[in-house]
Amino acid sequence: MTEFVHIERGHWVLAFDEPYGPYLSAMPEHLEMFASRGGGWESCRATEIFHVYRVDDVKPKTYFIDPDESVAHPRSYIKDRQPRSHVIAAGTTREAMIDLRDKMFAIGSATSDRIEAEMYRRVERFAAKERAKAIKKIHASLPHIFGKDAK
């Protein structure tokens, strides 16, 4: 049996929205995906992937929330019953869970930004040479526009 994060009535939890939950891997592996921007879901925001819920009641495999007190993406449909397997952390305040959500999401975003900046820095000279070659080919292909001596 999977060990769930300990939650009690009145706790606030940080949890995956159901479509983003850990279905194909264990929670630790699933969370490590967030070492990259968006955890593999490039078009999503933190508020779409992670929800912050106030716990109303706890059962062995599920917990119940008050949708009116939840912090979820505005377009999402929130069910009262949520799977405990999607809970990442629990705390006593809503703000602590929101801070944790934002911190987790920012780690991968910052890492991806640094990787991309370094990648573009390293390829910059090569890219300039390749673009110059492409412009010469375009000029040579269209002498009636660029002139007969275009190379």
What pLDDT was estimated at residue 74? 62
Output the pTM of the full model: 0.77
Q: List, for residues 12-69, the tens digit of each pLDDT value.
A: 999 998 888 898 899 999 999 999 988 887 767 888 899 999 999 999 999 999 777 7
pLDDT digits (tens, 9 = 90+) for 79-137: 789 999 999 999 999 999 999 999 999 999 999 999 999 999 999 999 999 999 999 99
pLDDT of residue 142: 93
- The residues, ordered by sequence, that sit 6+ positions from 65 with a Cβ below 8 Å of its Cβ are 53, 54, 55, 56, 78, 80, 82
User: For residue 1, what pLDDT band results from cuts at 50, 70 and 90?
Assistant: very low
Cα Rg for the chain, rounded, in angstroms?
24
Per-residue confidence (pLDDT) for residue 2, from 0 to 100: 64
Angle subtended at Cα 85 by Cα 109 and Cα 88, rounded to the nearest 5 degrees? 40
